[in-house]
Every structure is written in C-alpha cells, then in structure tokens.
C-alpha cells in the first residue's frame, strides 16, 4: 500500500498530466487558427499522449490500493505570438514536468517505496524523449526564421507525427 504522502503526490501528478493535455489542446487550437494544421496535429497527438500518462498513473494508484482523486484542471493560456513561441513554451513545460517526475522519484526513495520508484523510471525515460522531441521542433522553427517555404515544410513534417499517431489509435 502506498503512503498517504506518495498517494497525494501521484494524484497531483495525474492532475499535472491532464493539465498538460489541456495545455497542448489549447496550443493545437491556436496553431489551427494560424493555419499550421500539421503543427496543430502534432500538439493534438501530444495531448493524447499526456492523457495516456495520467491513465498510467491512475492505474498504478488503483493497483496499489490507493484512491484516485480527480481535481479541477487549471485554465491554460489560449494565445501566443507565433508557432515558435508555442513550442518554446511547450519545451519549458516539459522541463517543469521532468522536475516534477524527479521530485516523485526522490519522494519514493524517501518513503523507501521500491515499487513506486521502479514504476516512475518509465516516466524518467519518457521525459528524456519528450524534451528532446520538442527541442528538435524549436530548433527547426529557429532555423527557418520567417521563411514561408521553410515554415510550410516544418508544418508538413510535424503533420507526419499526427498522421502516425492516428494510425496507432
């Protein structure tokens, strides 16, 4: 059975993962509004992935006999100045989530909960991938500058991820 402290922290992470999904959906809608449907699809796929992360944690809480508490999700921003800004903020958000996962690992160690520490290692590895993926997109946008042709190519490339994610569903 999980300690109350660890159970509360994991429930907070569920909320954070759902907020991430909500944020990425908001980013997706902004990207749609500026005619970047490929980038919007990329963010939409990201949102679905964040929901799956929350579901993974909820399943673990249930498996360990803890209660899952659904809390209100904070309203995300809805407007940005550019696609680059969207992805820069997404990168910063992923870094924040990485720090939250690190805190959970530290807490599991403090509570001497080897099962939870082991469970969290999947998220540690996932965050490496998340940060690298968004960082690559930021780099592409920075390299393209305001060149319309380059932005179109980036948008199409990002749309490939969205198409692949739909095939997986």
Place of tokens 């590895």: 125
At residue 143, the pLDDT reads 93
Q: What is the pLDDT of residues 95-147, one digit of tens each?
A: 999 999 999 999 999 999 999 999 999 999 999 999 999 999 999 999 998 88
pLDDT category of residue 165 using cuts at 50, 70 and 90: low
Binned at pLDDT 50, 70 and 90, residue 14 comes out as very high
Alpha-helical segments (H) within 35-82: 37-63
Q: What is the pLDDT of residue 163?
A: 63
pLDDT for residue 166 is more than 60: no
On the CB side of 31, how many CA atoms lie within 13 Å of its CA?
A: 28
**Over 80: is that where the pLDDT of 161 sits?**
no
Give the chain's domain count: 1
Q: Reduced to 3 DSSP states, what percent helix, strand and coil does the chain have, rounded to the nearest 5?
A: 80, 0, 20
The CATH number of whichever domain residue 79 belongs to comes to 1.20.1260.10
- CA-CA distance, 45 to 7, in Å (whole number)? 28
pLDDT of residue 136: 96
Domain that holds residue 16: 4-168
- How open is the CA angle 52-47-158, to the nearest 5 degrees? 120
The confidence score (pLDDT) of residue 164 equals: 61
pLDDT interval class at 10 (50, 70, 90): very high
pLDDT band at 23 (very low <50, low <70, confident <90, very high): very high
Q: What is the pLDDT of residues 51-87, one digit of tens each?
A: 999 999 999 999 999 999 999 999 999 999 999 999 9
């Amino acid at each position: 059975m999980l300690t109350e402290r660890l159970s509360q922290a994991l429930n907070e992470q569920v909320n954070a993962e759902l907020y991430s999904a909500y944020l990425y959906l908001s980013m997706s809608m902004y990207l749609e509004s500026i005619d970047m449907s490929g980038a919007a699809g990329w963010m939409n796929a990201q949102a679905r992935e964040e929901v799956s992360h929350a579901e993974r944690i909820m399943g673990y809480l249930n498996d360990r006999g803890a209660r899952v508490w659904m809390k209100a999700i904070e309203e995300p921003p809805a407007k940005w100045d550019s696609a680059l800004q969207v992805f820069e903020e997404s990168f910063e958000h992923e870094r924040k989530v990485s720090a939250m996962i690190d805190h959970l690992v530290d807490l599991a160690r403090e509570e001497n909960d080897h099962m939870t520490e082991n469970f969290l290692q999947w998220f540690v590895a996932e965050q490496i991938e998340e940060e690298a993926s968004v960082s690559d997109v930021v780099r592409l946008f920075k390299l393209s500058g305001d060149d319309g042709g380059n932005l179109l190519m980036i948008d199409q490339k990002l749309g490939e991820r969205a198409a692949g994610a739909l095939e997986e569903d």
